[in-house]
Amino acid sequence: DAKTTQPNSMESNEEEPVHLPCNHSTISGTDYIHWYRQLPSQGPEYVIHGLTSNVNNRMASLAIAEDRKSSTLILHRATLRDAAVYYCILCNTGKLIFGQGTTLQVKP
Amino acid sequence: EAQVTQNPRYLITVTGKKLTVTCSQNMNHEYMSWYRQDPGLGLRQIYYSMNVEVTDKGDVPEGYKVSRKEKRNFPLILESPSPNQTSLYFCASSQTSGRTDTQYFGPGTRLTVL
């Protein structure tokens, strides 16, 4: 299974945009890029996914590099509630392989 | 409300005492799975089920059993729990096992085996 690499932690100020990077240089042509996040004391929750084109939803935007070897999750205005561990996952079947993720701290 | 429920949420037990953690989803999903989460190891899949009566091992199945007799339920069974099974457990479900399907996770069950 292809692996992803994310920074261990990032900090942001409240109401500022946050760009969470993910490298996946061994991605295959059929892998979808999924992002999940895990709020403290909760189960992971889906954020967004994409294949080649950039994607937007009510939670975030996903920017995918043209060669698909990296992607960036964009939170347009971070709130305190966005403090969580963010996982970038390559998905080719129903099985999600979680890495260590990026712990995002949001400062008021 | 669409959700995955797990019971119990917290459990302390002793070595060798059989236990079952229940998981139920109300979304008519075909695919269900169990993960365990441990510090430094992240979330790892224990077992999964593609549909009723179809189950298969994930990455860390030793010491666990599952069954899928009904579409909505996917219990995790520990026949003889040991301390190394102390962990945080999550059940998840999705419409199918497709690459674009969103997985919905339960709130977690924190298990301590003494």
- Distance (Å) from the C-alpha of residue A45 to the closest C-alpha of chain B? 7
Chain B residues within 8 A (CB-CB) of chain A? 4, 31, 33, 35, 42-45, 48, 50, 58, 90, 92, 94, 96-108
Q: Are A16 and A77 in contact (CB under 8 A)?
A: yes
B111 bridge partner residues: B11, B87
Whether the predicted pLDDT of B73 surpasses 90: yes
Q: Are B71 and B55 in contact (CB under 8 A)?
A: no
The mean per-residue pLDDT over the stretch B35-57 comes to: 94
Cα separation of A24 and B72, whole Å?
35
Tens-place pLDDT, residues A28-87: 888 999 999 999 999 999 999 999 999 999 999 999 999 999 999 999 999 999 999 999
- Positive or negative CA dihedral for A2, A33, A101, B73? negative
Cα separation of B39 and B37, whole Å?
7
* pLDDT higher at A96 or A11: A11
Whether the predicted pLDDT of A2 surpasses 70: no
Q: What angle do CA A67, B44, A40 make, to 5 degrees?
A: 90
- Does A94 lie at the interface with B, CB-CB under 8 angstroms? yes
Residue type (1 letter), A93: T
